[in-house]
Structure 1
């Protein structure tokens, strides 16, 4: 690679590492993305100073043809944008061609949800008097009953749960407080866990859910225990906390059709975030339609024999 293409990249990465104190992984990503563009410029017999927005859009189109998704291309453009800010300050370029260029819009992935009947079977499971199993059942029932994030679950303290009223107080993103209903099954599981909890808790610990050492349980532990629960009880997909939250939202919307209520229960600031579940609901309806309506799917016409 010509020095006029490679050396500015090397100096920029050194600038990021030494002056900007960027993480090594970030520097590695920037180096890789910029050297990829440098190779493209070399093939075009172009220079950094000559690159304009039109040329950069051609490069973005090439990345897309090579199979890169919108998020990966956006990361490339972010690196290029910062690189050209540096080149302009150093007098090596006069413009920033990345300012007016956007990455292709990445398709929004629909969250996965669990089947209602299978989820009921998994949560019922087999009766077990082991304290950790009793704790796990209470956690998983609560995740599905109230649509909690795993961070909200692990942050619950004893005084946040009102069993008689069937309510729980949680603190979501930005410390925003929500008061949520708790279902009958979850209340039963919580009462059973609370009978076991004193024998495990260390003095002064306020957390509702405890590790076997008597301290507040971590989010990672919840993830591992839920995955293990799914394996033990024959789940046909990997279980994780956000799957239960997604399932809560989708099943509730499917039954009620009340998008605003689901938004409030999930603690979404923007209803657009909640609207993804309307697509899930439509998928369910479309599946039922395809399977049930006699004229939903075209069947191949049999040929008459003459």
Structure 2
């Protein structure tokens, strides 16, 4: 690129540093991101920033993606390019922003790990040796029994439980929605074991179902740490976290029922697409369902 074009880029970086007071880290990132675009322009003999078209930006981003650059990095690069062109437009150096409507490739959503049924059984049948472990077992049983989010479990009050009816109410879950959930018999039994101890140590004003040894509501971080400690003490090799118990609940229920809509309701997902991503069935399980259900897919007898 010719001298004027290079100078405009340096002026942009100066504006970032002086007028925008961007951090040195931000300026360094912008330099690196736009340097990739400069190399693309050089390879295509584009000599002026005004000559860059939206098609060029798309081709550049696609090339970077083929090189293995992730979606988040490409989103950052596009943000840097848009900011640069916004500067050029403000200073009358160009009439349009070619990166304005270009989007980075979507990042594949990674599924959290799940436990199989035997692993869950081993986790929940490891036995208790203290009041705190009685409480912890009740929490973990309820996680797996009802597929709660960590925030929802921490927020549960005594009034939210109906142990006789084996149900609980999640109040103001994600999206501000309430939902009614079943509680399995194992979780009911574990909670009933915990309640006398809770009554002995709870503050009169505290309505929380799960409380600390000081009598106050157990926070999310404390629950995470208790699950980690439980696994260490009980010799569970897998690094288990609360989200994994929720995911295992959804996965096992879906595998057994094939009722995607039902699992969606239990998880509190507003969009069934989220449930499809969040839960999973292994291909062989799907293939078996297909072979049994599709009228023209049934295997011939041997």
Sort the Cα spacing of 1:283 and 1:63 in 2 relative to 1 into closer, same or farther, 3 A: same
Asked if 2 retains the 8 angstrom alpha-carbon contact of 1:144 and 1:247, the reply is yes
How far, CA to CA, are the matches of 1:86 and 1:166 in structure 2? 61
Q: How does 1:146-295 map to 2 (within 5 A)?
A: 146-170=146-170, 171-276=172-277, 280-283=280-283, 285=285
How far, CA to CA, are the matches of 2:136 and 2:287 in structure 1? 33
Asked if 2 retains the 8 angstrom alpha-carbon contact of 1:12 and 1:86, the reply is no
Give how far 1:15 is off.
Answer: 5.2
Asked if 1 retains the 8 angstrom alpha-carbon contact of 2:224 and 2:241, the reply is yes
Alignment TM-score, normalising by the size of structure 1: 0.81
Pairing 1:121–2:122 present: yes
Task: Tell me the equivalent position of 1:38.
Answer: 34
Q: How does 1:135-154 map to 2 (within 5 A)?
A: 135-154=135-154
**What residue ranges of structure 1 are gaps of 5+ in the alignment?**
19-23, 290-306
Sort the Cα spacing of 1:41 and 1:254 in 2 relative to 1 into closer, same or farther, 3 A: closer
Classify the secondary structure of the residue corresponding to 1:169.
strand
Give how far 1:82 is off.
Answer: 4.0
Classify the secondary structure of the residue corresponding to 2:169.
strand
**What residue ranges of structure 2 are gaps of 5+ in the alignment?**
290-302
Q: How does 1:11-90 map to 2 (within 5 A)?
A: 11-12=15-16, 16=20, 28-29=25-26, 31-43=27-39, 44=42, 46=47, 48-90=49-91
How far, CA to CA, are the matches of 1:35 and 1:219 in structure 2? 40
Asked if 2 retains the 8 angstrom alpha-carbon contact of 1:172 and 1:267, the reply is yes
Which shows bigger deviation, 108-117 or 86-95? 86-95
Which shows bigger deviation, 212-221 or 43-52? 43-52
Task: Tell me the equivalent position of 1:304.
Answer: none
Sort the Cα spacing of 1:41 and 1:181 in 2 relative to 1 into closer, same or farther, 3 A: closer
Asked if 2 retains the 8 angstrom alpha-carbon contact of 1:56 and 1:97, the reply is yes
For residue 9 of structure 1, the aligned residue among 8, 13, 19 is 13
Give how far 1:47 is off.
Answer: 5.0
Asked if 2 retains the 8 angstrom alpha-carbon contact of 1:6 and 1:38, the reply is no
Task: Tell me the equivalent position of 1:110.
Answer: 111
Which shows bigger deviation, 178-187 or 227-236? 227-236
Give how far 1:245 is off.
Answer: 0.6
How far, CA to CA, are the matches of 1:247 and 1:74 in structure 2? 32
After superposition, the C-alpha distances for 1:8-50 in whole angstroms (9 at most, x for unaligned) are 03423655558xxxxx6xx845x34421233235442755444
Sort the Cα spacing of 1:13 and 1:96 in 2 relative to 1 into closer, same or farther, 3 A: farther
